[in-house]
Structure 1
Amino acid sequence: MELFPPMPLAEWRDTKETLHRFAQVVGKIRLAASVRRNHWWNVPFHLTGRGITTRPMGLVDGNPVFTVDFDFVDHLLVVAMADGRAESFPLPGQSVASFYRQTLETLAALGVRVEIRVPRPYRLADSDRPFAEDFEHATYDPAWANRYWQVLGQVGLVLEEFAARFSGKVSPVHLFWHSLDIAHTRFSGSALDQPSQVDPVTREAYSRELISFGFWSGDADLGEPAFYSYTTPEPAHLAEDPLTPASARWTGLNDSHLAVLRYDDARTEPDPRAAVLAFYESAYQAGAARAGWDVGRLACPGGITDPRLPAPPL
Structure 2
Amino acid sequence: MELFPAMPLEEWADTKETIHRFAQIVGKVRLVSATRRNHWWSIPFHLTGRGLTTRPMGGMGELPLFCIDFDFVRHRLVVDVLDGRSAEFSLVGQSVASFYEELFATLDRFGVRPDILAVPFDLGDSTPFAEDTAHAAYDPALANRYWRVLSQVAQVLDRFAAGFCGKTSPVHHFWHTFDIAVTRFTGKIVGASPDVDPVTREAYSWEVISSGFWFGDDERPWPAFYSYTAPEPDGLEREPLRPERAEWLPARGSHLAVLRYDDVRAADDPVSTVLDFLESAYQAGAKLTRLPEDELASPGGVTDPCLDTP
Q: TM-score, normalised by structure 1?
A: 0.97
Residue 276 of structure 2 aligns with which residue?
A: 278
Task: Check the 8 A contact 1:9/1:225 in 2, yes or no.
Answer: yes
Q: What pairs with 1:1-314 in structure 2 (closer than 5 Å)?
A: 1-59=1-59, 62-116=62-116, 118-126=117-125, 128-310=126-308
- 8 Å contact 1:214–1:227 — kept in the other structure? yes
* Cα separation, 1, equivalents of 2:214 and 2:85: 35
Once residues 221 and 190 of structure 1 are traced to their aligned partners in structure 2, the CA distance between those partners, rounded to angstroms, is: 32
Which amino acid in the other structure matches residue 275 of structure 1? T
Q: Secondary structure of the equivalent of 1:65?
A: strand
Mapped to 2, the partners of 1:61 and 1:226 lie a distance apart of 43
Structure 2: unaligned runs, 5 residues or longer: none
- Structure 1 residue 221 displacement after superposition: 2.4
Alpha-carbon distance between aligned partners in 1 of 2:26 and 2:274, rounded to the nearest angstrom? 30
Partners of 2:64 and 2:110 within 8 A in 1: no
Q: In the TM superposition, what whole-angstrom CA distance separates every residue of 1:204-232 from its partner, at most 9, and x where no partner exists?
A: 00000000000001112221100000000
Are the aligned partners of 2:59 and 2:66 in contact in 1 as well (CA < 8 Å)?
Answer: no
Distance 1:155 1:13 in 2: 20
Identity of aligned residues (%): 61
Does the CA contact (< 8 Å) of 2:192 and 2:205 recur in 1? yes
Provide the C-alpha distance between the structure 2 equivalents of 1:32 and 1:137, rounded to a whole number of angstroms.
24
Distance 1:307 1:226 in 2: 37
Say which is worse superposed, 17-26 or 300-309, in terms of deviation: 300-309
Per-residue CA deviations over 1:81-114 (Å, capped at 9, x if unaligned) read 1111110000010000000000001111222221
Q: CA deviation at 1:200?
A: 0.5
**Counterparts of 2:132 and 2:91, CA distance in 1:** 15
Alpha-carbon spacing, 1:158–1:165, altered in 2? closer, same or farther (3 Å): same
Stretches (4+) displaced over 4 A:
none
State TM-score, norm by structure 2: 0.98
Match of 2:146, SS state, is helix
Contact 1:58 1:66 in 2 (8 A): yes
Kindly state the Cα deviation for residue 263 of structure 1 after the two structures are TM-superposed. 0.2
SS at match of 2:208: strand
Q: CA offsets per residue over residues 217-261 of structure 1, 9 Å max, x none?
A: 111222110000000011111111111111111000011100000
**Residues of 2 paired with 1:271 and 1:26: CA distance?**
36
Alpha-carbon distance in structure 1 between the residues aligned to 2:243 and 2:3: 18
